[in-house]
Chains A and B, each alone.
Chain A
Amino acid sequence: MLVDRCLDGEQAAARELFRRQRGRVQASLYRILGSNRDMDDLLQETFIQVFRSLGSFRGESRLATWIDRIAVRAAYRHLSRSRNQLTPVPLDIVDASASGDVPGVGAEPAGRRAEPFGQTVAREGVRRLYAALAQLPAKGRIAFALHAIDGRPVAEVARLVAASETATKLRIWRARRALERIAADDPILREFLREDAG
């Protein structure tokens, strides 16, 4: 078992585990934060915690879920720390040529042809979405991002953020309401948030 080898202090096993999980964790963190600016530190913080706590992993949940929970806590600490700092503008969010470890990540959705005008508008929509998310409390932002952007069911989000499903639904609902209020004065964001847009 890979976990057992890691617990034995085998560095090759630790590298293997990191390489298997890194793409998925990075994608989730990216969807929460909207950029890779602090990704190195966040991944480092997450996986250092993973290896330090691996002895307490009892196999009651999937390893991936357990790691995701640690990553979400790291994201929460990061957002709480940077709450009063300048919000970074995400750069190069759309890179149609890129390919990542995760299927579909970094590539245009299948069947969509790259269109400069459309891409530009979409990119501006993404930028405004994350600027708006930056105004929300960290808990609400994370719950919303995990559900509406990362596509996780509410029950899974609740497990990741260690809250009840009711509380999680409320956070997501409040975040959505706040975004809609911001979008009311921002036609580009409003268009981006439309169900059929994109």
Chain B
Amino acid sequence: MMRLGHKIPVEPLDEQRYQRVEDAIVAAMPGSSPASAAAPGRTPGQRWFARLGGARWLVPAVVAAGVALALYAGLGGLDAGDPGQPLPTRIATGDGSSTFGLGDAVCTAAPHSDLTLDLSGDSAGRANIAWQLERGEITCEVEPRPERAAVVVRAGAVTVTVVGTVFTVGRGSGDSREVYVAVSRGQVRVDTAGRSFEVGTGQRWTESTMEVTSSDAEWAAAVGDRAAATRGPEAGAEAGADSDVDTDA
């Protein structure tokens, strides 16, 4: 029989949320005033606030709105507006990860990742949906988009252009800051140092070898180990607060 519990860690509720629930329950207990029982502890506005996760989510949500708006323009094929006015949006994850829906793309930034969305226009005047990965790892699932501006992830001197795929780009934060690309489905193009590589389903590319080879579980584990080693213990402190973003552009 399928046993999945060990693969699904439970995200605990923070104490503030527990406390709000506790206060509401006590207020609604038999013997409390009718008013508090009818409206257990929270006004409709407060309930909506709680549904959104409280203040912990508010700042990332505002950031997400910016990201969503920006990507709506890009993913929806709208004009980018003035290419001379880029709209940078930064996502820095702490110990947790961050998954966000952006139009027809779903991206997950791994813990201790730092990336910036840059919508500077391309030469054709359309938006470039470009993620600048400073550190960590981003995995994106992007629907095929032949007639629209490509999704791009830049990491150092490496540029990964996405056509329609599920892929991961990672970058360590140590001295080497090596970049790696793994493709689960579809195809991406990797451009660096004047060379171009096509990386397809089940293939991997690493900056140190400049080679495209077949993926395997051992390599995936090795990449994880190397990235963790190069990140260093101080990286988490640099990464800033968790950014939890959930948008549907």
Task: For A154, give the chain B residue with the smallest CB separation.
Answer: B1
Is B187 part of the binding interface, using a Cβ–Cβ cutoff of 8 Å? Answer: no
Query: B198 within 8 Å of A by Cβ?
Result: no
Tell me if B244 and A92 are in contact (CB < 8 A).
Answer: yes
B178 interface hit (Cβ, 8 Å)? no
Number of A residues near B (Cβ < 8 Å) is 77
Q: Which residues of B contact A149 (CB under 8 A)?
A: 4-5, 8
Q: Which of A60-68, A71-79, A188-196 contacts B (4 or more CB under 8 A)?
A: A188-196
> Quick one: which of A30, A43, A115 contacts B11, CB cutoff 8 A?
A30
Asked whether, in the complex, the Cβ of A92 is within 8 Å of the Cβ of B242, the reply is: yes
CB <8 Å contact, B20 and A40: yes
CA distance A44 to B2 in the complex (A): 31
When the two chains form their complex, are residues A40 and B17 in contact, meaning their CB atoms are under 8 A apart?
A: yes
Which of A89, A93, A193 meets B246, CB within 8 Å? A89
Q: Which of A94-102, A135-143, A158-166 contacts B (4 or more CB under 8 A)?
A: A94-102
Cβ of A93 and Cβ of B106 under 8 Å apart? no
A28-72: CB near B (< 8 Å → 1, else 0) gives 001100111111110110011001100000000000000000000
The answer to whether A89 and B99 have CB atoms under 8 Å apart is yes
- Option from B12, B22, B95, B246 in Cβ contact (under 8 Å) with A100: B12
Interface of B is mostly: mixed
A47 (CB) vs chain B CBs: closest residue: B25
Cβ B12 vs Cβ A94 within 8 A: no
Q: Check B13 against A26 for contact (C-beta < 8 Å).
A: yes
B3 touches A27 (CB 8 A): no
B224 partner residues in chain A, CB cutoff 8 A: 115-119
The reply to whether B3 and A195 contact each other, CB–CB distance below 8 Å, is: yes
Contacts of A34 in B (CB 8 A): 8
Q: Is B249 an interface residue (CB 8 A)?
A: no
Q: Which residues of B have CB within 8 Å of A97? A: 94-96
Q: Is B161 an interface residue (CB 8 A)?
A: no
Contact B29 A14 (CB under 8 A): yes
| Additional pairs, 9, CB under 8 Å, beyond known A118-B221, A120-B139 | A14-B26, A22-B22, A40-B17, A95-B9, A117-B221, A118-B220, A119-B110, A124-B139, A126-B8
Interchain residue pairs with CB less than 8 A apart (8):
A30-B11, A40-B21, A44-B25, A93-B8, A120-B110, A124-B108, A148-B5, A151-B3
